[in-house]
Chains A and B, each alone.
Chain A
Amino acid sequence: MIDREQVVHVAALARLALSDAEIDRMQADLQQILQAFEALNALDVSDVAPTAQVIPLATVERPDTTEAPLSHDDVMRNAPRVERDQIRVPAVLTED
């Protein structure tokens, strides 16, 4: 059972501001999804190797060579605001 507090926590991690009504709706939706996983949890998989991927492939790698990047103009095309050739966003807490 997912409680309201957990919904608010997950929303905060995703930087979502939910209204009370939205929190209620999300709680119901998430509860349904979790129930589906509960059904899966009921299966006995003790003899199945843990897996992270369902595609039966190993990944490919590439040689360490370079190719041209996008132009600066193209890089900035979706920026909400540009200042000093950089993407400007509202001030965030310093992390580094």
Chain B
Amino acid sequence: MTLDSGYRVVIGLETHVQLKTASKMFCRTSAAYASAPPNTLVCPICLGMPGVLPVINAKAVDLTIMTGLALHSEIPPHAKFDRKNYAYPDLMKWYQISQYDLPLCVGGWLEINADGETRRINITRVHLEEDTAKLTHVVGEDGQPASLIDVNRSGVPLMEIVSEPDITSAAEAMAYGLKLRNILRWLGVSTANMQDGALRIDANISVWPSDAEIGNAKVEVKNMNSFRALGQALDFEIERQIALYERGERLVQETRGWDETASRTVPQRTKEYAHDYRYFPEPDLPPLIITRERVEGLTARMPVLPDAVRQRLVGELGVAPTDADELIEDRDLTAYTLDVVERHGGPAAEVVTWVLQDVRRLLNARELDSHDMPIAAASMAQLLDLRAKGDLSSTMAGTVLEEMFATGKSPDEIVSARGRQISDTDALVEIAREVMAANPQAVADYHAGKDRAIQFLMGQVMRRTRGQANPGKVTELLRVELADDGGE
């Protein structure tokens, strides 16, 4: 994209994803580091003790291949691991086992919608590596600056997804990140929560005058802990780099961190030779052979993905595109809604609206996640059946839903307990007469030809019955009673 200002923006994203495995990448130590006290999930392999040997976690490999399949990557028959060497205390071994030139997944693409356009962002590769230890920089007990090391996170399976530099705006970068997160969640390969560090996105960004060639210099931006931060940091960088050119300066290759409080990127002091990693093949791990049978098996196990579900919702089930987009953001809620749609049989669009509005409001009020949905799909369908038949007014259906959330009872139980909707004609006629007697002006208006007055009277009847009357029936009765009242 060429900006109006006469500049081109080039962005590539590197996304690190912690995989949902029970054990670490190369040892049997638990990967559940988030909830563990410091240095309690550590074994000799995590510590890089002499003589230990890494053994590959098959599930981590499977989850990475599934991600590659979802991103339309090629899965080559040969992969290998390499040592990435750097001397820094977040690695006990002073090297990280990663993949250099033979990653598990090669190429691919992700389709995004941004700035009113649909675009494919090409994927360079998806590879597997190990997470590092957590460092905390503190003033120590003796008053001296110190770094504290918690090794628990070290060795947790970490997948890295590298995009081509195809992204041309902060909005596209955010769309890419959100779409990727959603796919990872639908695949079930990661919680993909940015706040917990299960999803970390770094950006390489460079801006060039439209009439100049795109050069090699780029700025690596880190420390973006939310999608909002990602968008803000990239917008800031675009403006900062344009300002450089406007001042006649040149783009300098560097690493910058997003400073949330200052709302700006700042140069990061990094190790002098940070990018001299001297990769070489990991001698402790022979090459990894990925058989076609394995890839076919994983392909067969692939869950349905959000794009396909969206297509079905909009194309086949007549759901509004905006509602479909909102729904597929939540895999569990989508599965639930489709289940209800199937059982209920009524228009899917109405079910989706009901779930997105009424049901989600109650979930939020109770601070429940959609996978903790307290109401069985069968019960929800039953409630919608009652509403569709006119046995429950919309207001009443909402009330019953609330009670279902509160008590876990089925709609039938609740409705019988509360008494069926008041459709008993005698009782309603009586209420209608009382309402008419109390509102002579509205009655007169009706007789004077103001048909809207009946809406007011109906509202009064509904109020007296606390919304339990069938609105269609009330209107019908009112018309009869008003005619009997003999206006004309």
Is A63 touching B286 in the complex (CB atoms < 8 A)? no
Is B89 touching A89 in the complex (CB atoms < 8 A)? yes
Partner of A61, one of B61, B80, B223, B287: B61
Is B56 touching A62 in the complex (CB atoms < 8 A)? yes
Nearest residue in A to B276 (C-beta to C-beta)?
A13
The answer for the CA separation of A86 and B133 in the assembled complex, in Å, is 11
Shortest Cβ distance from residue A12 to the other chain B in the assembled complex, whole angstroms? 7
Is B28 touching A66 in the complex (CB atoms < 8 A)? yes
Count residues of B near A (Cβ-Cβ below 8 Å): 62
The answer for the CA separation of A78 and B49 in the assembled complex, in Å, is 11
Is B39 touching A72 in the complex (CB atoms < 8 A)? yes
Known: A61-B55, A84-B148. A94 touches B140 (CB 8 A): no
Is A61 touching B57 in the complex (CB atoms < 8 A)? yes
Q: Residue A1 at the B interface, CB < 8 A?
A: no
Shortest Cβ distance from residue A45 to the other chain B in the assembled complex, whole angstroms? 17
Is A58 touching B289 in the complex (CB atoms < 8 A)? yes
Is B87 touching A15 in the complex (CB atoms < 8 A)? yes
Shortest Cβ distance from residue A73 to the other chain B in the assembled complex, whole angstroms? 10
Nearest residue in A to B79 (C-beta to C-beta)?
A59
What string of 1s and 0s marks CB contacts (under 8 Å) between B144-158 and chain A? Answer: 111111110000000
Is B288 touching A88 in the complex (CB atoms < 8 A)? no
Is A58 touching B38 in the complex (CB atoms < 8 A)? no
Q: Residue B60 at the A interface, CB < 8 A?
A: yes
Q: What chain A residues lie within 8 Å of B47 (beta carbons)?
A: 70, 75, 78
Q: Which residues of A contact B (CB under 8 A)?
A: 9, 12-15, 52-53, 55, 57-67, 69-70, 72, 75-76, 78, 83-96
Q: What chain B residues lie within 8 Å of A15 (beta carbons)?
A: 87
Partner of B147, one of A13, A53, A69, A89: A89
Is A59 touching B89 in the complex (CB atoms < 8 A)? no
Partner of A13, one of B60, B87, B136: B87
Known: A59-B287, A94-B268. A65 touches B22 (CB 8 A): yes
Q: Which residues of B contact A (CB under 8 A)?
A: 21-23, 28-30, 37-44, 46-47, 55-61, 80, 85-90, 102, 132, 135-137, 140-141, 144-151, 222-223, 268-273, 276, 278, 281, 283, 285-289
Partner of A91, one of B44, B60, B141, B147: B147
Is B146 touching A66 in the complex (CB atoms < 8 A)? no
Is B29 touching A66 in the complex (CB atoms < 8 A)? yes
Count of A-B residue pairs with CB < 8 Å: 146
Known: A52-B281, A83-B141. A95 touches B271 (CB 8 A): yes
Known: A59-B56, A61-B56, A94-B137. A89 touches B149 (CB 8 A): yes
Q: What chain A residues lie within 8 Å of B289 (beta carbons)?
A: 58-59
Q: What chain A residues lie within 8 Å of B89 (beta carbons)?
A: 87, 89, 92
Q: What chain B residues lie within 8 Å of A66 (beta carbons)?
A: 22-23, 28-30
Nearest residue in A to B102 (C-beta to C-beta)?
A52
A to B CB contacts below 8 Å, 16 in the list: A52-B287, A57-B286, A59-B288, A60-B56, A61-B57, A62-B58, A64-B57, A66-B28, A67-B28, A72-B40, A75-B42, A75-B151, A88-B146, A90-B146, A92-B89, A96-B223
Shortest Cβ distance from residue A57 to the other chain B in the assembled complex, whole angstroms? 4
Partner of B28, one of A14, A65, A93: A65
Shortest Cβ distance from residue A17 to the other chain B in the assembled complex, whole angstroms? 13
Q: What chain A residues lie within 8 Å of B145 (beta carbons)?
A: 90-91
Is A83 touching B42 in the complex (CB atoms < 8 A)? no
Nearest residue in B to A15 (C-beta to C-beta)?
B87
Known: A69-B40, A70-B42, A75-B39. A86 touches B136 (CB 8 A): yes
Is B286 touching A69 in the complex (CB atoms < 8 A)? no
Partner of B57, one of A14, A58, A62, A69: A62
Q: What chain A residues lie within 8 Å of B149 (beta carbons)?
A: 86-89
Is A62 touching B28 in the complex (CB atoms < 8 A)? yes
Shortest Cβ distance from residue B235 to the other chain A in the assembled complex, whole angstroms? 23
Is B287 touching A53 in the complex (CB atoms < 8 A)? yes
Q: What chain A residues lie within 8 Å of B23 (beta carbons)?
A: 64-66
Q: What chain A residues lie within 8 Å of B146 (beta carbons)?
A: 83, 88-91
Nearest residue in A to B274 (C-beta to C-beta)?
A95
Q: What chain A residues lie within 8 Å of B21 (beta carbons)?
A: 64
Is A88 touching B147 in the complex (CB atoms < 8 A)? yes
Is B286 touching A67 in the complex (CB atoms < 8 A)? no
Q: What chain B residues lie within 8 Å of A60 (beta carbons)?
A: 55-56
The answer for the CA separation of A65 and B57 in the assembled complex, in Å, is 9
The answer for the CA separation of A86 and B21 in the assembled complex, in Å, is 25
Is A12 touching B286 in the complex (CB atoms < 8 A)? no
Is A69 touching B43 in the complex (CB atoms < 8 A)? yes
Q: What chain B residues lie within 8 Å of A61 (beta carbons)?
A: 55-58, 61, 288
Is B269 touching A93 in the complex (CB atoms < 8 A)? yes
Shortest Cβ distance from residue A49 to the other chain B in the assembled complex, whole angstroms? 11
Is B44 touching A70 in the complex (CB atoms < 8 A)? yes
Q: What chain B residues lie within 8 Å of A12 (beta carbons)?
A: 272-273
The answer for the CA separation of A66 and B33 in the assembled complex, in Å, is 13
Is A69 touching B42 in the complex (CB atoms < 8 A)? yes
Known: A93-B271, A95-B270. A86 touches B286 (CB 8 A): no
Known: A62-B58, A85-B37. A67 touches B136 (CB 8 A): no
